[in-house]
Each structure stands twice: as structure tokens, then as C-alpha cells.
Amino acid sequence: MKEIVPVERIDITVEVPGSKSLTQRALIAAALARGTSVLSGPLASEDTAYTIAALRAMGIAVNDEDSGCWQVHGAAGKIQVPAEDIYLGNNGTATRFLTSVATLGQGTFHITGSDRMGRRPIDPLLEALQGWGVDIESDSGNGCPPLTIRANGLAGGTTVLPEGKSSQYLSSLLLVAPYAEQAAELEVRGEVYSKPYVEMTLTVMSSFGVQAEASPLLNFFRIPQVGYQGREYAIEGDASGASYFWAAAAITGGRVTVANVPVPSLQGDAQLVPLLARMGCDVSRSSKGGLTVRGPKRLKAIEVDMGDMPDVAPTLAVVAAFAEGTTVIGNIGHLRIKECDRLSAMVTELGKMGAEVEEQKDSMLIHGCAGGKNLHGAEIETYDDHRIAMCFAVAGLKVPGVKITGEQCVAKSFPDFWDRFALLGK
């Protein structure tokens, strides 16, 4: 358990680790590429360690001894069958991406994960892969891992993703499509959530030499049979991780500059900053690069659709508890299939602190009080979810007595979070 110490004043410039989303996408493209890639500024975390271990088991050589610069020796789309099951913990991104990567092999692959991963749906991805001729099934028959893949390559042609509820399904299919036996086409039915993550995937693919054709609504794609080429690739600082530092400035009336999230950013989560501006924060681009947020004397409530940036919805919910008025965070039903049911978790834990919060099917309403005057300390349950731990740490900068249980869960995406967060009090 970690108790957060409130701070009087924040005025600091910080850097955050590399983007988890970009690191995992670049690892997949580099692993499938012809030649060697050098990834600079990657994220070394629990999640990326699972991804690297799985790639190595599939015959990809990855040298990550230098934490700031990794070498990936691509196998030109040729995947080996691992000697053992591929265990991916609660790494949803890797589970979805590597499921598709495994289809490029020849033989039986078995992908497993934690108990929570066994309750996170993946059936839409399985249906789309079956449309490309893949023999794949959920072992328990519930559309969740563990999975068995009897791989014989990817036929290609046309397939349908029956829903876009998780952008990771779509990104997974796009990343492997260049290695199909015939040119691949992909249709998505229903609303495509988290579009910036899909755009990020397309940009990474383009950087490694594959230019996919996408419709304006990102619901239809044509992917050429052109393999990736190894290259040097620089990874941005993680905007999701940066969100906690920008939020710290917002609720304390201080200043925080995150130096290594560029403007513009490939990451949709950087769009949290304009939302903070709507709440009254002063936002500027640092002369040395990066984004600066200065908190106001009084935050004000907003209404926002966060369908495209679900990972920072919990961060905004915490800020909203310190704002005057009712903040409505909508279109976040997909938070329920993350590392935990984040929508429910946020409502429960903010309630423990005295906040008045309403949970709806795909939204939450936070009835805030200026400066968080109605809030008090509480013991926060993290549900083994890194984002719950980090966003409630922000609340503890203003409210005495906030204690985070299971605080080590931040290792999933931000291993040295507590060290960097402690800098805010110096």
C-alpha cells in the first residue's frame, strides 16, 4: 500500500517512458519485416516484456539489453511454432496482436493469459481471421482466451470484422494482412471505437513500408501484399502516462511540462490536453518541445465523448471530481473490457472518496466540487489495473489520506511511475 503525500506547489518539467501502444506496434512490424530494425526510446515494461518473450518463442531475435535502443531481427513474415504455450498475462494488446501473428506460422499455437484475460472478449477477431481461412477457436467456447490456432498461413481475400468495439481487433488484422497469400480486404461493421489507435497502426505500417488503403470512416481497408522493411524507428513518449502529470497540474493549479510527447502526436490520448483547456487550464507548447499544462484557480465541468481515448477517461474522471459542476464522460462502454471494468471501478473508488458519481451503461456523470472540497482520503482498490492506480495517485496530491493498494501494478505500463511521480513534490 502506498500513501500519497499532498503537495503545495508543482512547477516541473518531466519525461515519460516510451509509448506502450507504439512500442507494441513497432515490435510486431519489425518482427515481420525483412532485415534489422532499431527501435529507439521504447517502453520496457511488463506488457512489452510479454510481447518480446512471445516473439522470441516464435523465432524472432530481439536484443533489448540497451533499454533505450532495441534491435529486432525480422524474419520476413516467417513464424516458428513455439515449444510451449504462449503466456501473455493480462496484456490485451499483445494477446490480440500475437493471435494474428501466429496465423502466419505452420502448426499449432496455444495462447493463454491471466484469469482476467480469460474474461476479455476476442471473438470478433476470431471470426475475422476465420474469414481469412484460419482454423482458430476459443478453448472454453466463450469467445475469450485461451486460444488454439492450427496455423497454415493467412489466405487473405475479403473478411468482415463483426464489430469495432476494440480497436485492437482491427489493428491486429491490419498488422498481419500484408503477409496474406492474396491481397487482403477488411470490412468493419458497427462503430469503430478508438479511431486514433487505428490511425496509429496505419502510420506505423507505412513507416515500415506498407501503405494500406483505408476508407474515411476506417470501416473498409485494402492491404497490399508488400512485406515490411527493417528500419530505424523512434518512439514518442507515452501520452497515456503523461496524462497523470498533466492532470496533476490541473487539480493543483501548478505547472507541468511533459517534454517528450511531441506536437502533433501520433497518440490520440494527447487530446486530453485540449479537454483540460476546456476545463480552464492554460495549455501551451514548450519552446523546447512537448506540452505544458498550467492549472487554473477553479476548474469547470465539461461534457465529452471519449470513445476515441478510453485510456485517459479515468484520468479525466479524477480531474472532474475537482471541477465545479457536472462533468459527463460519454461513449466509454468499452472501458468495461479493459484490465478491469474501469467504468464501474472509477465510480466505486471515487465514491469512496466522497465524490458523487453516477454510473450509466456507457457513461459516467461526476458531480464535482470546486477544489475537491467534498473529498476525503480513502483506501483505493486498484483491481490490479495500472490506470486505476495512477489516476488516483493524482487525487492524493490534493486530498490527504489517499492510499493506493496493489501499487506495484503500474509495472504493466510505467515501471518507474512512483519514482517519477515523487518528483512532483520536490
Give tens-digit pLDDT for 377-407: 999 999 999 999 999 999 999 999 999 999 9
pLDDT of residue 337: 87
311 catalytic per annotation: yes
What does the pLDDT read at residue 171? 97
pLDDT score of 267: 96
Q: Average pLDDT for residues 62-67, to the nearest whole number?
A: 92
Decide if pLDDT at 67 tops 90. no
Whose CA is closest to 232, among 31, 38, 29? 38
Q: What is the pLDDT at residue 289? A: 78
Look at strands 2-3 and 11-14 and give their pairing: unpaired
Q: Which of 311, 341, 384, 416 is catalytic?
A: 311
Burial of 339 (0-12, 13-18, 19+ CB in 10 A): buried
Q: How far is CA 132 from CA 221, 289, 412, in A?
A: 14, 44, 32
Q: How confident is the model at residue 228 (pLDDT cuts 50, 70, 90)?
A: very high
Q: What angle do CA 341, 21, 218 make, to 5 degrees?
A: 85
pLDDT for position 166: 82
| Dihedral pair phi/psi, residue 124, rounded to 5° | -60, -40
Confidence class for position 190, pLDDT limits 50, 70, 90:
confident
CA torsion sign for 335, 192, 306, 413 is positive
Classify the C-alpha dihedral 220-224-225-231 as positive or negative.
negative
Q: Quick one: pLDDT at residue 322?
A: 98
Q: Which stretches within 34-122 are classed as H helix?
A: 46-57, 92-102
| Burial class (CB within 10 angstroms; exposed 0-12, middle 13-18, buried 19+) of 266 | buried
- Edge to edge, the sheet with strand 61-63 lists 61-63, 69-73, 36-40, 232-234
Asked if residue 286 has pLDDT above 90, the reply is no
The pLDDT value given to residue 193? 86
CA 101 to chain centre: 19
- Strands 282-285 and 291-294 come out as antiparallel
**CA 364/CA 116 separation, integer angstroms:** 23
Query: Which pLDDT score is estimated for 46?
Result: 95
* Cβ-contact 390, 410 below 8 angstroms: yes
* pLDDT of 293 higher than 80: yes
The yes-or-no verdict on residue 117 having pLDDT over 90 is yes
Q: Is 102 helix (H, G, I), strand (E, B) or coil?
A: helix
Distant-in-sequence, close-in-space partners of 3: CB < 8 Å, separation ≥ 6: 396, 401, 402, 403, 404
Following DSSP, what letter does each residue of 331-362 receive, concatenated? S-GGGGGSSS-HHHHHHHHHHHTT-EEEE-SS
Instruction: Give the C-alpha separation, 213 to 218, whole Å.
Output: 10
pLDDT beyond 80 at 287: no
- At 245-280, the pLDDT tens digits run 999 999 999 999 999 999 999 999 999 999 999 999
Is the bond preceding residue 42 a cis peptide, omega within 30 degrees?
A: no
More confident residue, 183 or 166: 183
In one-letter notation, the amino acid at residue 408 is: Q
**pLDDT beyond 90 at 426:** no
Q: pLDDT value at position 341?
A: 95
Q: What is the C-alpha separation between 112 and 95, in angstroms, rounded?
A: 8
Tell me the C-alpha distance between 372 and 312, whole Å.
Answer: 20
Q: What is the pLDDT of residues 75-111, one digit of tens each?
A: 999 999 999 999 999 999 999 999 999 999 999 999 9
Hey, what's the cell of 341?
471494468
3-state class of 109 per DSSP? strand
Contact 174, 192 (CB under 8 A): no
What is the percent of the chain where pLDDT is above 70? 100
Question: Contact, 245 vs 256, CB < 8 A?
Answer: yes
What is the residue-averaged pLDDT of the chain? Answer: 96
